Amino acid sequence: MTVAAARVDPTRCPICGGANGCAMERERQTGRAQPPCWCTQAQFGAEVLDRVPAGARGLACICARCAGATPLSTG
């Protein structure tokens, strides 16, 4: 793991720093099954993905607000 990767908080959006509501990360942290994450049904345009810092790509989910998507209920 790189130093940059060690600093990425997988519960925070790498673009704005807000909570990303990632159900997959919530399941990893709690050990409790979660419904599918809202992001599995969202489409992320290249212009959004390009805003993610290189050191955070693939390490933290983009939040619904930055993705321009409406999140599904995470119960």
The predicted model scores a pTM of 0.74
pLDDT tier at 13, thresholds 50, 70, 90: very high
| pLDDT average, residue stretch 12-17 | 95
Q: Exposed (0-12), middle (13-18) or buried (19+): which is 34, by Cβ within 10 Å?
A: middle
CA of residue 51 relative to chain centroid, distance: 13
| pLDDT average, residue stretch 38-61 | 90
